[in-house]
Structure 1
C-alpha cells in the first residue's frame, strides 16, 4: 500500500486544516495509508524516506535546518512531493533548498481575488487529459519566480490591469518535475478550500498528487 504524509499549518488564510481533510479523503479513496501532522519536526524523522508521497500545506512560516535537510534528501531519494497554492509554493520563504525542490516561489498576486483564464499547454499529458483547453478561474492569480527546468502543463497570461508592467506575461500555473529520483507536482490554484469544488482544479490536483507518489515504498 502506498503511504502519504500530510503536514498542515502556517497562515490560516489558506484553510490548511480544511484542505488537509480533502487531501486525506482523496488519498484514502485512492488506496493510501495516510498520516496527518501539524508539527514541521516530523520532517526530521528518518521514516519519511519510506513514504510514497508528502503533501505540505504550510504557508509562510519557518522550518529548521534539520527537518528541511531530511525532507530534501527524502525527495531526492524518491519520495514524491505535491501540493497547491501558497501551502506549497509560498512556504518557508527563507529556505532556498526547499524552493529548489518545488521549482517555483510565489512573489505577488496583483489585484488579489480576480477573474482570469487558465490555458492548458500539454493536453496530451495524463494529468491534463480531458481538461478544457482554456477555462475561467476566480482566485489569486499567482505571479511566480520560476525554475526554467520544470515541465509546464498549464499557464495564465497577465492582463496588466493590476500591475501594468506584467501585461502579456505568461506564467506557469501547473507544473511537474523531477528532483533526483523524486517526482514533484504543483498547482498554484486553490487560495481557499472552497476552490476544490471547481472540477478542473480538483481533477488536475488529484491526478497530480497521484502522479507524484512513488509507486511502491
Structure 2
C-alpha cells in the first residue's frame, strides 16, 4: 500500500505561530503513515495535478489573502476527495475577502468576546475567557469526538457565523454579560465536519496558542480529524 500524502500549508498572521503550531503535528502525520510536504503559501492550491495526488490538506493560514484560482483549485480538490482540516484562525479566520472559501468551509470567525472592560490590560489575555466545549449528541458517536467528555478551556472563545450544511460535533456558548450588546446567550459551533462532494472537512476552533493545541482533548480532536478527513478509498 502506498503511503498517504499530506500537504501542510502554513502562513498568515504570525500571532498564531503557524510554523510552531504545525510542527506539533508533523510527527503524528508521519507516524500515521503520511509522507508530508510543507508549503509556506497557498500557491500550490492552483496546481490541480499536485492536489489530485494529495490525500489531506492541513491548513494553518490566519487572515491573509488568496487568489480566486487558488480557492477554486482547493475547492475542486476537496470535491474530488482530498481531505481538508485545520484549527482556530488557521482555517476559520482565513481569507476573509473570499466568499468562495467561506462557502467551502461553512463557518467563519466573527469575534472572540473579551473580559469586562475594567479587567483588560491591552494584552492577548484580555480575550481569554473560561468556557466549556460541549460535545453534541452527534459528537458523542462521531469518530472525531467519540469517547470525549465536555471539557473546559481558558483561551479565545470563537463566535462563529455558519450555515446549516455543517455537522456540529461540539458547541460553546457565549453568555449574555452586562457589558456586552447581546441580550441572550449565543451558542456557536466549536468543532464541525462538512462533506463537500467526495471530500471531508474538519474544523476545530480552539487552538489560539501552543498550550491550547497541546491540551489532550484539543490535540485528540485535531489528530482524529486529520485521519477522518483523509481521502477514503471510495473517494479516490
TM-score between both structures, scaled by the size of structure 2: 0.88
Given that 2:206 and 2:213 are in contact with CA atoms closer than 8 Å, whether structure 1 keeps it comes out as no
Aligned partners of 1:42, 1:166: CA distance in 2, in Å? Answer: 45
Say what the alpha-carbon RMSD is for the aligned residues: 1.3
Count how many residue pairs are aligned between Structure 1 and Structure 2.
216
SS of 1:25's equivalent?
A: helix
Among 88, 110, 134, which residue is 1:119 paired with? 134
Q: Which 4+ residue blocks in structure 1 deviate beyond 3 angstroms?
A: none
The offset of 1:215, in angstroms, is 2.8
Aligned to 2:20: 18
Give 1:166 deviation, angstroms. 6.0
Deviations 1:142-193 (A, max 9, x none): 0011011110000011112363416321111000010111100001010012
Q: Shift of residue 115 of structure 1?
A: 0.7
Larger Rg: 2
**Corresponding residue SS for 1:57:** strand
Q: Does 1:209 align with 2:210?
A: no
- Structure-2 separation of matches of 1:193 and 1:36: 19
Matched, 1:146 2:162: yes
Q: Which runs of 5+ in 1 are unaligned?
A: none
For 2:14 and 2:184, locate their aligned partners in 1 and report how far apart those are by CA, in whole Å: 31
Deviation per CA, 1:103-162: give whole Å up to 9, x if none: 100010001111101110021112112211x21111111001101111000001111236
Cα offset, 1:23, TM superposition: 2.1
Asked if residue 190 in structure 1 is aligned to residue 207 in structure 2, the reply is: yes
Correspondence for 2:122: none
Report the counterpart of residue 123 of structure 2 in structure 1.
none
Runs of 5+ in structure 2 lacking a partner?
A: 115-126
- How far did 1:48 drift? 0.9
Aligned to 1:157: 173
Output the TM-score relative to the length of structure 1: 0.95
183, 186, 189: which one aligns with 1:169: 186
The 5 A counterparts of 1:86-125 are 86-111=89-114, 112-121=127-136, 122-125=139-142
SS for the counterpart of 1:153 is strand
Q: Which residue of 1 aligns with 2:118?
A: none
CA distance in 2, matches of 1:65, 1:101: 13
